[in-house]
Amino acid sequence: MKTIVARILSLNDAAMAEAADIIKNGGLVALPTETVYGLGANALDEAACAKVYAVKGRPSDNPLIMHISDVAMLDSIAKNVPPMAEKLIQTFWPGPLTVILQRKNVPRGTFLDTVAVRMPKNPIALRLIDLAKTPIAAPSANLSGRPSPTTAGHVLRDLSGKIDMILDGGPCEVGLESTVIDCSGDGAPVILRPGSVTREMIEGLIGPVGMATEAAKDEAPKSPGMKYRHYAPEAKLTVVVGEAEKVRAKIQSLATDTEKIGIMATAESAYYYKHKNVLIMGDSHEAIAANLFDMLRLCDEMGLEEVFVEGVAEEGLGVAIMNRLKKAASYNILKV
Ligand code: AMP
Ligand code: MG
């Protein structure tokens, strides 16, 4: 199959209608969202969703998020939406917050009685859902386990020839997957995956919420996605955390081979390293989030064997950044 790549400069571009037809006919279209690129399929078409799993190599017990363009669409897939979820939806949609609700009529992930729903903010994503007239299931458009794609080029590298079309809307604004919050139970909602809608933002609106910790090896994870290794480059990754000066000194002392070893540093400390392969992550949590997956992919393109990453403070958006980094490093964390 030849994958069509269409750069979208206007929402009225003919490629938008073409993409919607592909979705309606059970095909796969990668689309930009404000978080990462998604691999879109008609969420109510079981065969189309099965293709998503096959193409990504996604474990079948890891359910998909349904993307909608209008709160009214929620009625077709979820029921008993609690008042706290209503509040979150009113405040953070469209945006990078996925809400887990009780399921209604959704064929995929039928082993669960819940469904994950989000209304993305990216206008291309919203228009595509509108034109296709169906919720679109859209997990990250990468091969399972690889860093999530934040540009159309990343999608093409992983899925060229395997999907019908890629809508290129430029680089993603946020760069990390949505925050996932479980509002399907009777108790306080629980954040299952941190993202750019932070715990502080959520608690400021609805009061205290839970935060799922990573499941221990033999424990069932709260969210199926939590048990898999994710976001990983080929290189061995070590996240170094602690006071900035000590972190730099530690990395200096460990990164002895300047050819095969890389360093992912904040803009502030990149200046201190004399190594050849210093990847500058950015100077704010927002910039680091937006660059993170691209840098992890770059590590592979540069043929690096080992990479040391400076950890960031685990507050606000830093919680989500560290969550992805820890998984990418298979929890290989060095505290100094
Ligand atoms: P992604 O691969 O970025 O689309 O990830 C979707 C995340 O949402 C994964 O961690 C899934 O396990 C999680 N998820 C989707 N549906 C549900 C659900 N009904 N209950 C709990 N977690 C879910
Ligand atoms: Mg993913």
Query: What are the CA-CA distances from residue 88 to residues 93, 177, 196 (Å)?
Result: 8, 17, 14
Whether 43 contacts 107, CB under 8 Å: no
| Side chain identity at residue 250, one-letter code | K
Taking 50 as the pLDDT cut, the residues of the chain under it are 216-218
| pLDDT given at position 123 | 98
> For residue 321, how far is its CA from the centre of ligand 1 (angstroms)?
18
Could you identify the atom of ligand 1 that is nearest to the CA of residue 224? 12
**CA dist list (Å): 162 to 1, 114, 125, 130:** 6, 29, 20, 25
pLDDT digits (tens, 9 = 90+) for 293-328: 999 999 999 999 999 999 999 999 999 999 999 999
Q: Give pLDDT, residue 232.
A: 82
pTM, entire model:
0.94
Please state, in angstroms and as integers, the Cα–Cα distance from residue 252 to each residue in 154, 158, 308, following that order.
31, 33, 10
Pairing between β-strand 236-241 and β-strand 333-335 as defined by DSSP bridges: parallel
Q: How far apart are CA 325 and CA 334, in angstroms?
A: 12
CA of 144 to the centre of ligand 2 (A): 7
Instruction: Write out the DSSP string of 215-245.
Output: PPTTS--SSGGGGS--S--SSEEEEEES-HH
Ligand nearest to the Cα of 116, by number: 1
pLDDT at res. 233: 86
Give the number of the ligand closest to the Cα of residue 43: 1
Residue 218 confidence (pLDDT): 47
Tokens of 193: 């995956």
Mutation choice for ligand 1 from 102, 180, 214, 228, CB with most ligand atoms inside 8 A: 180
Name all residues whose Cβ lies below 6 A of ligand 1. 62-63, 65, 100, 112, 114-116, 139-140, 177, 180, 192-193, 223-225
> How far does residue 140's CA lie from ligand 2's centre (Å)?
4
